[in-house]
Amino acid sequence: MHVILVITGGLGLLGLFVLFGWLWGASTAAMALAAKVFVPAWLIVALVNMWVGVSHAGYTLREELPIMLLVFAVPAVLAAVAVYLLTRS
């Protein structure tokens, strides 16, 4: 359940980044840039989530790494799709 909540939070954060990109520049290029900036920010959040799982929840790095990859990959792939769609037109 925690994984689903974190991924949902990532998708919400991606939406906020794209919304602020639109508010900032009101163009598809600004929204695409915001989606690109989201990826490293989300990587940091995913790594912090993994660190909390290892240091406080008692999971091993080996157990937590696949979860971190999933948590990072889903919003990052959707950000890449958004960048593609926004720059295509």
State pTM to two decimals: 0.91
Nearest to 43 by CA among 72, 16, 15, 18: 72
Is residue 24 scored above 70 in pLDDT?
A: yes
pLDDT in tens, 43-79: 999 999 999 999 998 889 999 999 999 999 999 999 9
Q: What are the C-alpha distances in Å from 3 to residues 10, 19, 77?
A: 11, 24, 16
